[in-house]
Amino acid sequence: MELSPKEIKSKVKSAIKDDSLRKAVYNATVSTGVTRERIISEIPYWEKLRSKAHLIKKETIDNLDKYLELFEKKCIENKINVHWAVDSKEARDIILKIAKEKEVTRIVKSKSLTTEEINLNDELVNSGIETLETDLGEYIIQLKKQAPSHLIIPALHLSKEDVGKLFEEKLNIEYTSDPKKLLKVAREKLREKFLIADMSVTGANFGIAESGAFCIIENEANAHLSISLPKIHVALMGIEKMIPDIKALPYFLKLLAPSATGQKSSTYVNLVGGPSREKYNEGPEEVHIILLDNGRSKILEDQDLRETLYCIRCGACLNACPVYQEIGGHAYNWVYMGPIGITLIPQYLGEIEGKHAPYLSSLCGACYEVCPVKINLPEHILKLREKVVEKGASNIFEKTGMKIWSFAAQRTKIYRFLSWFPTKIQKLLPNGKSFPAPGYYKERILPEFDSKGFRKRFYELERSSKNEK
Amino acid sequence: MKVALFIPCLNEHFFAETSINMVKVLRHLNIEVEYVEDQTCCGQPAFNSGYVNEVKPLAEKYIKLFADHDYIIAPSGSCVSMVKNHYGGLDLPQNVKKTYERLKSKIYEFSEFLVDVLNLEKIDAQFQHKITFHDSCHALRELFIKDQPRKLINMIKGIQLIEMNESDSCCGFGGTFSYKYADVSIAMVARKCENIVSSEAEFCVGVDSSCLMNIDGYLKKNNPNIKTLHIADLLAKSMNL
């Protein structure tokens, strides 16, 4: 599914009209947020964890070249095949090549945003390879031919009734909205596929440089089955997912589960350190890791904005964001959504193409408050707005308005005149009502200008209190 | 004690009464107030929309105007935060930056000043109404103002503070966001007002006129019985000033 955040404005407009979508999104995000808060209130050193994780990420990202080289070296020692992909196409080609060489006909996938980013599924299916998502949420949206609407909960926008109808239609079962029954159906359909798949494709949450291993975190054991049963395992990982060593991992494990789902810890933490070794005789015969750049090294160049590469894709900022809560993930029309999405959109796709994204925020700061690795998202959103203006891509009326206003505000007398003026015009308006403001005005009444303004009133007050004395 | 008044644009042109009420409360507490004559706008609307070049001269003007005052008080968390937290990141001349370092620890939001600087513990005030409190985002998350206004509210006799659900979620204003993504902004303020209505309060109190303007604008069309009150208005009213 090719996504383009160019359409963000129109997508937002249609999302806001979809009441059932908004209800589902609001309920899911708020309840996840509440569980998150309850869990972290039981972790007294939560703030220290955040700071520590931030520092680890900072050190790693600042020295990413060093860590990537080390990771590659150690992976090769562990008999993991390492591939480098500059962009989506290269990554897709590498995966297809592996599949073709080994005559793969069936692939099982476990949830991976990075594979969504490179639009992998379409390519595999078009090449005649049966490709099945095995995470329940991903399975649902694959059946529905949709993209994920949340980083962690891909089918968050759907109610259990929606899923019931979908299963009825696509899987030919009797309609039910009972989650347990639906889960059972999905489980039965999926289990057999694990056994017959020739290859698995997964993402990776963390690449551990010193060990030449990578980590996949999940709750459903579908990743565990994906990486154990098929003969070939291919993992796609963004280059920013690096951490220095295994000692760093517990900090992130402690932070990720509460932030993502409000769990104390995730159900499964899979560590992949190479193909099956002879003495065990289980697990895949071949393991590949593809290190994907796809714009990340460009983000790395910017000292201020590279912090956005610290993201561990927990989705906490989405749940906390009052904008996301109203519109859901599809409105962003891209693989990464919410506060982190609007900072990544213009960075990946160019400031001009993605110019509407950084404005889709009220700058309330709730995202920064919950971010487990302390990415200062509001500051980055502001920086990206600055870039839109710098590139001359902002609205011409706004630009002119800001210039005039700044010119005036530097000159007190002109400023006062300009602000006195509307109070006079206001009197000419019908019913003495306030100025109509497009958009804003629809459901809200603007206040009236104060006839005198504070300064005048203040001096009047001064005079009258002097007279009293 | 003498304080300099920093009157944000909205409080100059729309909510002058609120600023006057702030002056009355300060004077009642024996604080001398001074209006800094040449002040205009701190530059927040431009800054939040990405126009840093338009903000720089305004920041310079502001810093020079206010630097020599002992205390700078404003009836707005978000404009205080603009000066206190965001001027530092602007590319300003070295000497202005130096002056700014002096200034930034002297600027306070009104309720913060009353509680943290004046250590106010008691006031002679009465207000026989049910109120709820909206936490403004910048006051809450950039200045960490949460307890101060509540402390003040609880000093008022007869008042009943009912906490609404999600008092700390954004009202949807966000400056230019409110017209750039007006539909989303309206959905957010509708949600906020739902929470206000279900608290069964008669008034929604806050520390920022911008949020209150947004909330009030929506309430006037949809729930005209519930009014908004700035903390300065509430104090002046309940102290009979």
Domains and CATH numbers, chain B: 2-116 (3.40.50), 121-238 (3.40.50.11810)
The secondary structure of B132-166 as a DSSP string is EEPPPHIIIIIS--SHHHHHHHHTSBT-EE-PPTT
Q: Which residues are CB-neighbours of B91 under 8 A, at least 6 positions away?
A: B52, B56
Residue A290 CA: distances (Å) to CA of A115, A144, A308, B90: 11, 28, 21, 40
Instruction: Judge if A287 and A337 occupy the same domain.
Output: no
Is residue A302 included in any domain, yes or no? Answer: no
By Cβ distance, the residue of A403, A408, A461 closest to B20 is A461
Taking only the tens place, the pLDDT of each residue in B38-72 is: 999 999 999 999 999 999 999 999 999 999 999 99
- Give how many domains chain A has, as a whole number: 3
Indicate the average pLDDT of chain A: 93
pLDDT value for A137: 95
Chain B neighbours among A 110-149 (CB < 8 Å)?
none
Cα pseudo-dihedral A303, A304, A309, A313, rounded to 10: 170
**pLDDT at residue B221 is higher than 60:** yes
Quote the percentage of chain A above a pLDDT of 90. Answer: 84
ipTM attached to this prediction = 0.96
Instruction: Judge if A195 and A318 occupy the same domain.
Output: no
- Across the interface, whether the CB atoms of A446 and B217 are under 8 A apart is answered yes
Chain A: residue whose CA lies nearest to B40: A409
Nearest residue to A338 via CA among A3, A29, A18, A38: A29
Interstrand relation of B130-133 and B160-161 (parallel, antiparallel or unpaired): parallel
Taking only the tens place, the pLDDT of each residue in B128-146 is: 999 999 999 999 999 999 9
**pLDDT at residue A146 is higher than 60:** yes
For A356, list phi and psi in degrees, rounded to 5. -80, -20
For residues B177 and A440, give the distance between their C-alpha atoms in angstroms, rounded to a whole number. 10
Chain A neighbours among B 192-211 (CB < 8 Å)?
none
Specify the higher pLDDT residue, A419 or A88.
Answer: A88
A430 interfaces chain B, CB cutoff of 8 Å: no
For residues B13 and A419, give the distance between their C-alpha atoms in angstroms, rounded to a whole number. 7
Domain endpoint, select from A250, A268, A294: A294
Give the residue from B51, B53, B195, B229 with the most A CB atoms within 10 Å of its CB, the best one to mutate. Answer: B51
For residues A186 and A181, give the distance between their C-alpha atoms in angstroms, rounded to a whole number. 9
For residues B32 and B42, give the distance between their C-alpha atoms in angstroms, rounded to a whole number. 23
Give the residue from A454, A465, A466 with the most B CB atoms within 10 Å of its CB, the best one to mutate. Answer: A454
Structure tokens at B74: 């404003």
Instruction: For residue B43, give the DSSP letter.
Output: S
Give the residue from A16, A362, A418, A445 with the most B CB atoms within 10 Å of its CB, the best one to mutate. Answer: A362
Chain A neighbours among B 58-77 (CB < 8 Å)?
58, 61
For residues B104 and B118, give the distance between their C-alpha atoms in angstroms, rounded to a whole number. 18
pLDDT value for B8: 97
Helix (H) or strand (E) holding B73: strand B72-74
For residues A345 and A24, give the distance between their C-alpha atoms in angstroms, rounded to a whole number. 25
For residues B76 and B109, give the distance between their C-alpha atoms in angstroms, rounded to a whole number. 6
pLDDT value for A278: 75
Residue range of the domain that includes A431: 402-468
Is residue A25 included in any domain, yes or no? Answer: yes
Chain B neighbours among A 331-370 (CB < 8 Å)?
358-366, 368-369
In a 3-state reduction of DSSP, which class is residue A274?
Answer: coil
Instruction: For residue B229, give the DSSP letter.
Output: E
Helix axes B182-198, B209-222, angle to 10 degrees: 80
Residues of A within 8 A of B61 (CB-CB) are: 409-410
**pLDDT at residue A435 is higher than 70:** no
Structure tokens at A336: 């990464």
A389 interfaces chain B, CB cutoff of 8 Å: yes
In a 3-state reduction of DSSP, which class is residue A461?
Answer: helix
- Annotate A322-364 with three-state secondary structure: HHHHHHCCHHHCCCCCHHHHHHHHHHHHCCCCCCCHHHCCCCC
pLDDT value for A277: 84
Residues of B within 8 A of A332 (CB-CB) are: none
- Across the interface, whether the CB atoms of B142 and A365 are under 8 A apart is answered yes
Taking only the tens place, the pLDDT of each residue in A74-105 is: 999 999 999 999 999 999 999 999 999 999 99
Please give the average per-residue pLDDT across A362-378, as a whole number: 98
For residues A328 and A317, give the distance between their C-alpha atoms in angstroms, rounded to a whole number. 12
Structure tokens at A364: 């309330």
Taking only the tens place, the pLDDT of each residue in A41-68 is: 999 999 999 999 999 999 999 999 999 9
**pLDDT at residue A308 is higher than 90:** yes
Please give the average per-residue pLDDT across A347-365, as a whole number: 93
| pLDDT band with cut points at 50, 70 and 90 for residue A433 | low
Residue A100 CA: distances (Å) to CA of A107, A108, A199: 12, 15, 11
Is residue A304 included in any domain, yes or no? Answer: no
Chain A neighbours among B 139-158 (CB < 8 Å)?
141-142
Instruction: For residue A289, give the DSSP letter.
Output: E
pLDDT value for A419: 79
A187 interfaces chain B, CB cutoff of 8 Å: no
Instruction: Judge if A34 and A161 occupy the same domain.
Output: no
Count other C-beta atoms under 10 Å from residue B101's C-beta.
11
By Cβ distance, the residue of A12, A369, A438 closest to B184 is A12
pLDDT value for A1: 54
For residues B35 and A181, give the distance between their C-alpha atoms in angstroms, rounded to a whole number. 69
pLDDT value for A437: 66
Please give the average per-residue pLDDT across A303-314, as a whole number: 96
* pTM to 2 decimal places: 0.95
**pLDDT at residue A432 is higher than 60:** no
Instruction: Judge if A141 and A268 occupy the same domain.
Output: yes
For A216, list phi and psi in degrees, rounded to 5. -125, 120
Find the CATH number of the domain harbouring A371.
Answer: 1.10.1060
Please give the average per-residue pLDDT across A326-348, as a whole number: 95
The alpha-carbon gap from A58 to the nearest alpha carbon of chain B, in Å, equals 20
Is residue A305 included in any domain, yes or no? Answer: no
Instruction: Judge if A225 and A324 occupy the same domain.
Output: no
Instruction: Judge if A181 and A266 occupy the same domain.
Output: yes
Count other C-beta atoms under 10 Å from residue B66's C-beta.
21
Instruction: Judge if A77 and A170 occupy the same domain.
Output: yes
A45 interfaces chain B, CB cutoff of 8 Å: no
Taking only the tens place, the pLDDT of each residue in B222-237 is: 999 999 999 999 999 9
- Across the interface, whether the CB atoms of B137 and A369 are under 8 A apart is answered no
Is residue A133 included in any domain, yes or no? Answer: yes
**pLDDT at residue A26 is higher than 80:** yes
For residues B234 and B161, give the distance between their C-alpha atoms in angstroms, rounded to a whole number. 12
pLDDT value for B88: 96
**pLDDT at residue A468 is higher than 90:** no
B129 interfaces chain A, CB cutoff of 8 Å: no
Taking only the tens place, the pLDDT of each residue in B190-201 is: 999 999 999 999
pLDDT value for A2: 60
> What is the rounded end-to-end Cα distance, in angstroms, of chain B?
20
| pLDDT band with cut points at 50, 70 and 90 for residue A379 | very high
The alpha-carbon gap from A82 to the nearest alpha carbon of chain B, in Å, equals 41
| pLDDT band with cut points at 50, 70 and 90 for residue A421 | confident
By Cβ distance, the residue of B57, B137, B217 closest to A365 is B137
Residue A155 CA: distances (Å) to CA of A21, A178, A394: 11, 16, 34
Instruction: Judge if A213 and A336 occupy the same domain.
Output: no
Please give the average per-residue pLDDT across A238-264, as a whole number: 97
| pLDDT band with cut points at 50, 70 and 90 for residue A427 | confident
- Across the interface, whether the CB atoms of B15 and A450 are under 8 A apart is answered yes
**pLDDT at residue A423 is higher than 90:** no
Instruction: Judge if A417 and A283 occupy the same domain.
Output: no
- Across the interface, whether the CB atoms of A440 and B179 are under 8 A apart is answered yes
**pLDDT at residue A430 is higher than 70:** no
For A402, list phi and psi in degrees, rounded to 5. -65, -40
For residues A88 and B80, give the distance between their C-alpha atoms in angstroms, rounded to a whole number. 45
For residues B35 and B66, give the distance between their C-alpha atoms in angstroms, rounded to a whole number. 10
By Cβ distance, the residue of A408, A440, A454 closest to B178 is A440
Nearest residue to B170 via CA among B151, B153, B149, B186: B186
| pLDDT band with cut points at 50, 70 and 90 for residue A428 | confident
Domain endpoint, select from A376, A394, A412: A394
Residues of A within 8 A of B137 (CB-CB) are: 362-366
Residue A85 pairs in a beta bridge with: A292
